[in-house]
Structure 1
Amino acid sequence: MRFLPGLLLVLPFLSPLAHAELFDDVFDRGELRIALEADTPPFNFKEGDKLTGFEVELGELLAREMDVRASFITTDEADLLPGVESGKYDVAINHIAVTAQLRDRFDFSAPYSYANAQMLANKQQKPLLSGLDTLTSSQFAAKPTEGVDLRSRVDAKATLTLAIPFQKGNPAFKSSLDMALERIKADGRLTALSQKWFEADTSKPAK
């Protein structure tokens, strides 16, 4: 069989190991698939059958800025990050603290929020989590094997950086997501969203 010279240049990109950029997949679908647990107010939770919370509204804003629709998929901790890793979900927006271990598995957006264990433990008006047991089992806490053990430092002031994980090797998607997030930050919408749900501006590290 003979191949045209130009075709020889294309063939390496048709191998089984080649994969489409997440950017192309998302825009071909016109949909950003967002995984979350929907059980940790005020980050994300259900009021009746309706999803709501800080991260739900954030996901809607990001999808709109990227000119696609937001599709929220409720899942559990066992499926959340493996689902992103396998491509079942495009992203997880589930108060995930960035750690060195997670950076080995995922690429991350720019940070969208900053918080610390003391804030979680002491919040009075809008409890972030139902208690320390919930705190240590949530993705926010990041399991001890992922580098952060809040059970031994629940009153610590160490700042946790929250960002959005997605499959590695997708620079165009990261650029699009980060630019959408930057627009939301620049015009004050992220600050307003943070004030609405936390009564504080968590979009910037505390000084």
Structure 2
Amino acid sequence: MQRFKQLALALLIASSSAAAVSPATVTKGVLTIGQEGTYPPFSYKDAQGNLTGFDVDIAKAVAAKLGLKPQFVLTEWSGILAGLQVDKYDVIINQVGITAERQKNIGFSAPYAFSSPQIIVRKTGGGAYQTLSDLKGKRVGVGLGSNFEQQLRAAGGINVVTYPGAPEYLADLAAGRLDAAYNDRLLVGYLIKSQNLPIKGAGIIGQPEPVGIALKKSNTSLKAAIDKALLQMKADGTYAKISRQWFGQDVSKP
């Protein structure tokens, strides 16, 4: 089946239109996608319980370009990369930063978004932390197994407190159980804009970082097909429409 799937994807790449390939040629027409489902505005459930978000819309658009039906598999962030290695899903579309360390074990599409880490504090009584050095000796909440956790630990001297997802540590931050939190600048901006949380952004750390669609390193045919789909989305305006809906800007460039 895997050999057949690779052949089908190779045909997909060669095709001038992804839709020209029968959906039945690739895993019965389904692209399985790993996501958290608890990470607004990227992947979360709305008031009606429907999965929504920027990464959800990107995933649906990529699947459409491939001529496949998207099937989402929700997994906590701490285990999401391991799930890819045991074929729990074909890809992860969940703001996975492209890092040298991750590239040793998993493959990535071309970047589809760029963002920067940001320190998050309470609106009232929060510290004016501008650098990671300012966080030394402070209790800082972060997602378990995330690139953000690695950055905090590498900085040294920070009391890193890990959580399964952003809602948990943002709640503890708002309640005063943490001095700060650390996450994506786009997430911070969205929360400040759309939700009544008593938090605000502080220092933005480093340069914009690339985010890609994660997949198995061996699945080069799928990578090529996805890269082609992303190029088509940018060329026909699909990507810009999705990006502006969620962030008011095109986040496909540094």
Quote how far apart the aligned CAs of 1:145 are. Answer: 7.6
Bigger Cα displacement from structure 2, 54-63 vs 156-165: 156-165
1:177 matched residue in structure 2: 226
Quote how far apart the aligned CAs of 1:138 are. Answer: 6.3
1:78 matched residue in structure 2: 78
1:88 matched residue in structure 2: 88
Judge conservation of contact 2:78–2:145 (CA < 8 Å) in 1: no
Amino acid at match of 1:115: S
CA distance in 2, matches of 1:148, 1:181: 33
1:20 matched residue in structure 2: 3
Relative to structure 1, is the Cα distance of residues 74 and 176 closer, same or farther in structure 2, using a 3 angstrom cutoff? same
Amino acid at match of 1:144: Q
Amino acid at match of 2:235: A
1:152-204 CA distance string (max 9 Å, x none): x9521421110011111122111111101110011121112111101121111
CA distance in 1, matches of 2:69, 2:80: 20
2:245 matched residue in structure 1: 196
Question: Aligned residue pairs: how many?
Answer: 176
1:115-148 CA distance string (max 9 Å, x none): 1124x749xxxxxxxxx62xx3167644418998
Relative to structure 1, is the Cα distance of residues 101 and 77 closer, same or farther in structure 2, using a 3 angstrom cutoff? same
Judge conservation of contact 1:100–1:147 (CA < 8 Å) in 2: no
Relative to structure 1, is the Cα distance of residues 113 and 22 closer, same or farther in structure 2, using a 3 angstrom cutoff? farther
Name which of 133, 144, 168 aligns with 2:150: 144
Structure 1 unpaired stretches of 5+: 1-17, 123-131
| TM-score, normalising length: structure 2 | 0.61
1:13 matched residue in structure 2: none
CA distance in 2, matches of 1:180, 1:140: 27
Quote how far apart the aligned CAs of 1:28 are. Answer: 3.4
1:38 matched residue in structure 2: 37
SS in 1 for 2:56: helix
Judge conservation of contact 1:90–1:166 (CA < 8 Å) in 2: yes
Amino acid at match of 1:137: G
Pick the structure with more strand per residue: 2
Relative to structure 1, is the Cα distance of residues 29 and 94 closer, same or farther in structure 2, using a 3 angstrom cutoff? same
Structure 2 unpaired stretches of 5+: 10-24, 122-139, 156-180, 183-201
Percent of residue pairs identical: 29
2:57 matched residue in structure 1: 57
CA distance in 1, matches of 2:248, 2:145: 22
Judge conservation of contact 2:117–2:148 (CA < 8 Å) in 1: no
Judge conservation of contact 2:117–2:206 (CA < 8 Å) in 1: yes
Amino acid at match of 2:239: L
Amino acid at match of 1:101: E
| TM-score, normalising length: structure 1 | 0.74
Judge conservation of contact 1:102–1:146 (CA < 8 Å) in 2: no
